[in-house]
């Protein structure tokens, strides 16, 4: 299928990646966290073409959230060192990849997940530590016991991981830094107990605050979203969704074809690039009003929508269009979707 040459030719809603802004984000992060200091999290973009750019900049280890992401990265030739930063109770699909030569490490936080790693054919694990986010991870006083059990079971314990997800979105930098430090104090203590070369954690919101982890699992920095944009980070919003105005009401609002099925909404409403006020989103619609003093858009006009949460937004779409200005230069399949 030929690639359209211009954004205006796209069926909407469509994901748009600004190649210049993306390159700038990748370069900024690679300069600050070169090579193995960054283990990019592919859950944020679910696209092996984008992961390949990260790999070319020297980041040869990646973080994944699903078995499907691991499989897709291996198929793309990016299986040098993959971490599934998630607990699984059936690791047989991953074990087959390991048997074929891929390096796959799995997070474990219980006897059951250790047993699943062993029976599935996994050889390497990280002990996942609860550092304050009430989600996965064992308590600090369980770390030594689980690490010993893993080693006795024949697994190599490469170290520890922990995610301070409750802290990285706090807008006030000083407060955010304090919460990150508290969490990473727990992780550092666990690392001293467990041993191994890896202390893995962090994300885009703590990319320059987390000094305890020796590898940072940031992912959203590449494309960004409005939730992270509030933090004043040095990364540009490289992804928008182009939508078409399909209805205009003379009482002051317009409707475009970009709704809940095209946007991650768990972090709130999206924003509009032109400053329009978003009223609400329904299944297929975004309802908005123009900035004060601006006229209503015309039916058929294109508008740019900024998602509040990049990860689920990417997962809703089959492909993204890479652009230079308004010219389309490539089409990237979002090939790590699904489970």
- The arithmetic mean of pLDDT across residues 212-221, rounded, is 97
Q: What is the rounded distance in angstroms from the CA atom of residue 194 to the CA atom of residue 124?
A: 14
Q: What is the pLDDT of residue 1?
A: 61
Model-level pTM? 0.96
From residue 339, alpha-carbon distances to 32, 55, 328 in Å are 32, 23, 30
Sheet (strand 124-128) strand order? 61-64, 81-84, 104-108, 124-128, 156-162, 198-201, 215-216
318 close to 336: Cβ distance less than 8 angstroms? no
Q: Is 197 exposed, middle or buried (0-12, 13-18, 19+ CB in 10 A)?
A: exposed
Query: Domains plus CATH for the chain?
Result: 7-14+235-333 (2.40.37.20), 23-220 (3.20.20.10)
From residue 261, alpha-carbon distances to 25, 63, 220, 312, 333 in Å are 27, 26, 20, 10, 18
From residue 147, alpha-carbon distances to 194, 216, 296 in Å are 6, 22, 62
pLDDT in tens, 71-111: 999 999 999 999 999 999 999 999 999 999 999 999 999 99
pLDDT in tens, 150-191: 999 999 999 999 999 999 999 999 999 999 999 999 999 999
């Amino acid at each position: 299928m030929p690639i359209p040459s211009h954004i205006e030719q796209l069926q909407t809603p469509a994901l748009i990646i600004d190649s210049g802004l993306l390159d700038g984000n990748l370069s900024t992060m690679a300069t600050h966290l070169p090579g193995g200091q960054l283990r990019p999290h592919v859950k944020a973009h679910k696209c092996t073409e984008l992961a390949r750019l990260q790999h070319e900049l020297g980041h040869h280890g990646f973080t994944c959230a699903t078995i499907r992401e691991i499989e897709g990265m291996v198929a793309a030739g990016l299986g040098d060192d993959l971490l599934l930063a998630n607990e699984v109770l059936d690791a047989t699909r991953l074990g087959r990849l390991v048997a074929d030569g891929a390096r796959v490490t799995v997070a474990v936080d219980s006897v059951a997940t250790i047993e699943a790693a062993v029976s599935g054919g996994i050889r390497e694990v990280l002990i996942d530590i609860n550092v304050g986010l009430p989600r996965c991870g064992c308590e600090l006083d369980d770390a030594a016991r689980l690490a010993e059990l893993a080693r006795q079971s024949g697994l190599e314990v490469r170290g520890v991981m922990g995610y301070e997800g409750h802290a990285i979105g706090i807008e006030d930098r000083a407060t955010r830094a304090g919460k990150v430090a508290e969490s990473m104090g727990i992780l550092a203590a666990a690392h001293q107990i467990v041993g191994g070369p890896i202390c893995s954690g962090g994300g885009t919101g703590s990319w320059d605050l987390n000094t305890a982890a020796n590898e940072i699992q940031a992912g959203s920095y590449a494309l960004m979203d409005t939730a992270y944009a509030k933090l004043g980070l040095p990364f540009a919003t490289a992804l928008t969704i182009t939508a078409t105005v399909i209805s205009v009401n003379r009482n002051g609002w317009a409707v475009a074809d970009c709704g809940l099925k095209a946007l991650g909404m768990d972090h709130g409403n999206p924003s509009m690039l032109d400053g329009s006020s978003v009223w609400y989103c329904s299944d297929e619609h975004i309802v908005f009003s123009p900035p004060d003093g601006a006229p209503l858009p015309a039916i058929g006009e294109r508008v740019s929508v900024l998602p509040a949460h990049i990860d689920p937004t990417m997962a809703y779409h089959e492909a993204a269009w890479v652009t230079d200005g308004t010219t389309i230069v490539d089409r990237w399949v979002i090939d790590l979707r699904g489970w």
